[in-house]
Chains A and B, each alone.
Chain A
Amino acid sequence: MNEQLKTDPTKPAQRMRAGGMTLSLAPWIIAAVAMMALPMIFTNNSALTIMNQMSITIIFALAYNMLLGQGGMLSFGHAVYAGVGGFFCMHLMNMSDFFATIPLPILPLFGGLFGMGLALIVGSFSTRSAGTVFAMISLGVGELIAASSVIVVAFFGGEEGISGDRTYAQPFFGVEFLQQIEVYYLTAAWVIISAALMYLWSRTPVGRMANAVRDNPERAEFLGYSARWVRYYSFVASGFFAGVSGGLFAINYEILTEENLNAASSGIILLVTFLGGVGFFFGPIIGAVVFTLVQTVLSLQTELWAFYAGCLFVATVMFFPGGLAGLIMMHVPAVKLGKWKLLIMPYIKTLIPAAIGILGLCALVEMTFHYRHGATGDNEMTLFWTTFDSHTLMPWLIAAAVTVIGIGIARMTAPSLKEAWDEANTMGGAS
């Protein structure tokens, strides 16, 4: 399932292509062109805001995966490196004399340096070991810094945080970053640069050794590398890119608060990265895009979106530890064998009923929630464009029936899907 966390002998090597002599440029060019073109398709400001949010999350999630996916270090407090980098950028914005001499696009660099500085200090004692101890230290340090933000008002601005104005910077080739679209392109440029740098990092000696240390620290030590130093380098690099994302956050929102530091933010980035898939470089990118979209769309539709996100997360950890990227890469063998077409019909037969069944289940959940917490007398609720009375029997029966039938059909067709799957992944044979 997940080559990162477990070896599955039935899956071919996915990492091996990294050993090749060519670094394919194609995905990067496509990504750059797509980022250039997107604002022409989605022109309104709220779409730009979402895309900016996505970009910032992509950098942060990739930085986070340098630790989790590539270095095997689970951090529960990584938001502080992004947050502190962001706060520092905010202070730079408010130092008007200095700020007027630098162009805005290089501001995230300072955020990165500050995030890196903090990582240099914390990493010196936290990277001594990986695993549980590292996780606990990251949590403790994260909480410490988040809690100090209310006390150290001079730096963190207390409860209301710190705000600034990005337009005071020196104009960059005449651009003053008054408009959202200008900020979009600034952020997009940083995403491409940061992602490329992080990708290249994973191809350097220290990046390769990070994988080795993750898999088997003891063996790495007997190859001349100190596991601790390898982890330390990864940690510092990750702190840098987290700081860059914090700097971009500062430019975009022009305000930072305690929320940028706290455990909830750290938890979300873990969730994003894991949903996307820690085993592949592009996993966190998918995670960031999907999560931001889901968050935006679902949070408008339902109060319970965090509940669904939690369910999805736990289900991912239990059943698809490779995340979305893992699911995608599972299909590579079938595509290579040219048998992926065998899968289309079985997928339709199983996944569509399953999706309908899950929607029915969600309807039941929503109705229960409305029944328990709706204001007294307010019995009407709207679900899937239908308005009905949640205190009558009929909607419950319908939702329950949809759930049972949908999941029932999915369960009935699941064996044939499995058969098709095995067939599609077997070499030769009738096609």
Chain B
Amino acid sequence: MSVPALELSGLKKSFGKAEIIRGIDLDIGKAERHAIIGPNGAGKSTLFNLITARFAPTAGTVKLHGENLAGLEPFQINRKGLSRSFQITNIFPKMSVFENVRCALLWAQGYKYSFWNLVSRQRALTEGADAILEEINLSARRDIPAGMLSYAEQRALEIGITIAGGANVIMLDEPTAGMSNTETDYIMDLIMRVTEGKTLIMVEHDMGVVFGLADRISVLVYGEIIATDTPERVRADPKVQEAYLGAALEAEH
């Protein structure tokens, strides 16, 4: 088997005496769509923050394409091809929608900290940003400040920023949180399209989204993964049903 896109081994995190993540081993293959589900307070967002170095782990390692990420800063991890979105919308509200996306493209297109290029003169940059706006259906809103977009549009923009840099591992933290049904369908469709051929790891509460999108699902309960399998088998797993899924599945059928 080839090197997994993301490999977690023995990952632990404590805040003071409270152990939030209690040893997680997980391999996620290339181009896999992986969902992490679990009850509130299970540590899903903490796990995300550990992987992206927002927090430092207490023990264990995170490997991206076989490379250990220990000690790297978030921006270094991003440069290695891992990009993430946030549970709470995290965009640049005062900049225009177009500029939000353009900023996300700068590093990927190799501009680094340059002060000898004018951004408006870079055709590839402008076209790339416009292409992404097209993809996330925000071309019509191109020039208004991102803070003025509707909530669903902001979430779409957040996804656009996340994928803009061309990262091959995309992590989405509750992309459909707080959305209406139609909005959820729109975002789900968007995620399907933009993560084609990429590794996707998402935390999600909406079971419809999870079962519709994911190739495999991990169930996180109290900082431990109690099951990792295909949606059908996870659905059938008695442990999962007991811990968490039962009620939700009953409601669905």
Contacts A221-B75, A222-B83 given; does A7 touch B119 at CB 8 Å: no
**Whole-angstrom CA separation of A393 from B73 in the bound complex:** 71
Is A378 an interface position by the 8 A CB rule? no
Are A211 and B118 neighbours in the complex by a CB distance under 8 Å?
A: no
Q: For A226, what are the chain B residues with a Cβ–Cβ distance below 8 Å?
A: 73, 75
17 A/B residue pairs, CB under 8 Å, sorted by A: A3-B94, A4-B94, A13-B145, A16-B96, A16-B143, A201-B115, A204-B115, A204-B117, A205-B117, A206-B114, A206-B115, A208-B99, A216-B93, A218-B90, A221-B74, A222-B84, A225-B106
Q: Assuming A9-B147, A215-B95, A216-B90, is B116 touching A223 (CB within 8 A)?
A: no
Q: Within the complex, which residue of B114, B147, B148 is in contact with A205, where a contact is CB–CB below 8 Å?
A: B114
Name which residue of chain B comes closest to A216, CB basis. Answer: B92
Chain B residues with CB under 8 Å of A225's CB are: 75, 106-107, 113
- Proximity bits, A190-231, B CB within 8 Å = 1, else 0: 000000000011011111110110011011111111110110
Interface string of A98-142 (1 = CB under 8 A from B): 000000000000000000000000000000000000000000000
Given A19-B98, A206-B113, A220-B103, A212–B119 Cβ distance below 8 Å? Answer: no
* A215 nearest in chain B by CB position: B92
- Asked if A23 and B120 sit within 8 Å, CB to CB, the answer is yes
In the complex, which residues of chain B have a beta carbon less than 8 angstroms from the beta carbon of A204? 114-119
| B102:A208 contact, CB within 8 angstroms | yes
Q: Give the docked Cα–Cα distance between A230 and B112 (Å).
A: 10
Determine the chain B residues whose CB is within 8 A of the CB of A200 once the complex forms: 118
CB distance from B157 to the nearest CB of A (A): 11
B194 at interface, CB cutoff 8 A:
no
Q: Is the CB of A205 within 8 A of B112?
A: yes
Find B120's partner among A18, A206, A224 (CB 8 Å cutoff): A18
A224 to B109, CA, bound (A): 11
CA distance in complex: A407, B118 (Å): 50
* A33 within 8 Å of B (CB atoms): no
The residue in B52, B78, B93, B145 that gathers the most chain A C-beta atoms within 10 A of its C-beta is B145
Q: Which of A9, A20, A212 contacts B103 (CB 8 A)?
A: A212
Interface of A is mostly: helix
- Residue of B whose beta carbon sits closest to that of A14: B145
User: Residue B79 at the A interface, CB < 8 A?
Assistant: yes
Known contacts: A207-B115, A221-B78. The answer to whether A3 contacts B92 by CB under 8 A is no
Give, as a whole number of angstroms, the nearest-CB distance from A326 to chain B: 13
Is A7 touching B93 in the complex (CB atoms < 8 A)? Answer: yes
Residues from 235 to 255 in A contacting B, C-beta threshold 8 Å: 237
Check if A21 is an interface residue, CB within 8 A of chain B: yes
Taking the closest CB of chain A, its distance from the CB of B219, in whole angstroms, is: 26
Instruction: Tell whether, in the assembled complex, residue B78 and residue A224 are in contact, meaning their CB atoms are under 8 Å apart.
Output: yes
Q: A218-B90, A219-B92 are in contact. List 5 more A-B contacts (CB 8 A).
A: A13-B96, A211-B94, A211-B95, A216-B91, A237-B115
B111 within 8 A of A: yes
Number of interface residues of B (CB under 8 A): 44
Q: Is B226 an interface residue (CB 8 A)?
A: no
Residues of A in contact, count (CB < 8 Å): 40
Residues 58-81 of B, flagged 1 when their CB comes within 8 A of A and 0 if not, give: 000000000000000111001100
Determine whether B203 belongs to the interface, using a CB cutoff of 8 Å to chain A: no
The distance in angstroms between the C-alpha atoms of A225 and B77, with both chains bound, is: 10
**Residue of A205, A207, A227 with most partner-chain B CB within 10 A:** A205
Whether the Cβ atoms of A224 and B144 lie closer than 8 Å is: no
A224 with B91: CB separation less than 8 A: no
Q: A107 vs B79: C-alpha distance in the bound complex, in angstroms? A: 41
> Which 3 A/B pairs are nearest by Cβ-Cβ distance?
A224-B107, A205-B111, A7-B147
Asked if A15 is at the interface (CB within 8 A of a chain B CB), the reply is yes
On chain B, the residues within 8 Å of A185 by CB distance are none
Q: How far is the CA of A221 from the CA of B98 in the complex (A)?
A: 19
Say whether A310 faces chain B, with CB atoms less than 8 Å apart. no
Q: A3's closest neighbor in chain B, by CB?
A: B94
B112 contact set on A, CB distance < 8 A: 205
* Interfacial chain A residues near B96, Cβ < 8 Å: 13, 15-16, 19
On chain B, the residues within 8 Å of A203 by CB distance are: 118-120
Question: A25 CB to closest chain B CB, in angstroms?
Answer: 14
B115-135 vs A, Cβ < 8 Å mask (1 yes, 0 no) = 111111100001000000000
